Chains A and B, each alone.
Chain A
Amino acid sequence: MGIVTTKLEDLVNWSRTRSMWPMLFGLACCAIEMMSAQASSYDLSRFGMELMRASPRQSDLMIVAGRVSRKMAPVLRQLYDQMPDPKWVIAMGDCASCGGVFNNYAILQGVDEIVPVDVYVAGCPPRPEGLIHAIISLQEKVKGEKLNRWS
């Protein structure tokens, strides 16, 4: 019985990591680096992220790229809520991780004030290789998910 669940976990986690579809959420400068990671030189399609869905209903990874202002925060939460389970969040860049250079009243000090984040990427902006490292770390994290913790 243990063999069956292990193999099932492996299969499902493998399929989840190999075809994760990110949602376009480029807000500011980090979006440029996200775009360049998606483009031909640092290809994200080889990780299964061929297309970036604009609709949250059809995606399972949200890469928050850029600073989130207080006016944008409810919008971001609504889009996160519209994503179906299983979903993961990568906070790309300094502004999404901790507020970055903007330590004031108008910018959210880290997007983890409103959504639970799986992987944080440091950098202002992080290089495309940094984002790819984050995606690989997320894949390692998903590979370790267990059957009874699946959402």
Chain B
Amino acid sequence: MNKHQSRAVEKIQKDFSAGAEEIKDEITLFLSPDTFIPAIKLLRDQYGFDMLILETAVDYWPQLEPRFHLVCRLWSMAENDILGVRVPLKGNFPSLPTLTVLYPAASWFEREVWDMFGIKFEGHPDPRRLIMPYDWEGHPLRKDYPLGYEEPQFTFNFEKVAAHKPHPKE
């Protein structure tokens, strides 16, 4: 952790009472949904973290509570520095303010997170699904979503699987 990062991390920890962990030479800040936007605004304006590299989520069901962690990675081009931010979210359908007000690149990241995990972003300009069809139900990357596979069709269960296969009417 170099001096620039340590200054930024200390300030955020002091102002927003955030936790910080060092994972493999990189600092990860743990914020809450209320302090999420102000802290990142501070990082962007004062400490030069001007690029959002990644915004995804992780589902830790059923091992951990809170279940979802929103993961962001911020990059500072001037200082060649990367910083991780995690927001633990409670509940099965959490919501938090959108990051598009600070970084326009967050738009598609947040659409993907909504599509795959069901985490809603308030104030998002285009809240549609990104990967699945627009009228899909369910959020596929959650741990309690079924795999959705089709049984392999061997000779002994050929008819049973063939009965369920959809066919075009022509």
Which residues from chain A sit less than 8 Å from chain B, CB to CB? Answer: 70-71, 77, 98-99, 103-106, 109-110, 112-116
Contacts and interface: CB of A to CB of B under 8 A. Distances in A.
Range of interface residues on B (Cβ < 8 Å): 10 to 19
Contacts of A98: 153
Interface in B144-170: 145-150, 152-153, 165-168, 170
Contacts of A77: 168
A116 B168 contact: yes
A97 to B, nearest CB: 12
B147 A105 contact: yes
B132 A99 contact: no
A91 to B, nearest CB: 13
A144 B167 CA distance: 25
Nearest to B134: A71
Given A70-B132, A71-B133, A106 B140 contact: yes
A113 B167 contact: yes
B146 to A, nearest CB: 8
Given A106-B140, A109-B150, 9 more contacts: A71-B133, A77-B168, A104-B147, A104-B148, A105-B146, A106-B132, A110-B165, A113-B168, A115-B168
A115 B169 CA distance: 9
Contacts of B136: 70
Contacts of A70: 132-133, 136
A110 B152 CA distance: 12
A113 B133 contact: no
Interface SS, A side: loop
Nearest to B140: A105
Contacts of A116: 168, 170
Contacts of B168: 77, 112-116
B149 A103 contact: yes
Contacts of A110: 165
For the complex of A and B, the 5 pairs showing the least CB-CB separation, nearest first, are A105-B148, A103-B149, A71-B133, A109-B150, A113-B166
A13 to B, nearest CB: 21
Nearest to B149: A103
B140 to A, nearest CB: 6
Contacts of B150: 99, 103, 109
Contacts of A112: 167-168
9 contacts: A98-B153, A103-B152, A105-B145, A109-B150, A109-B165, A110-B165, A112-B168, A113-B166, A116-B170
A62 to B, nearest CB: 13
Contacts of A99: 150
A8 B112 CA distance: 57
A71 B128 CA distance: 14
- B140, B150, B152 — most chain A CB neighbours (10 Å): B150
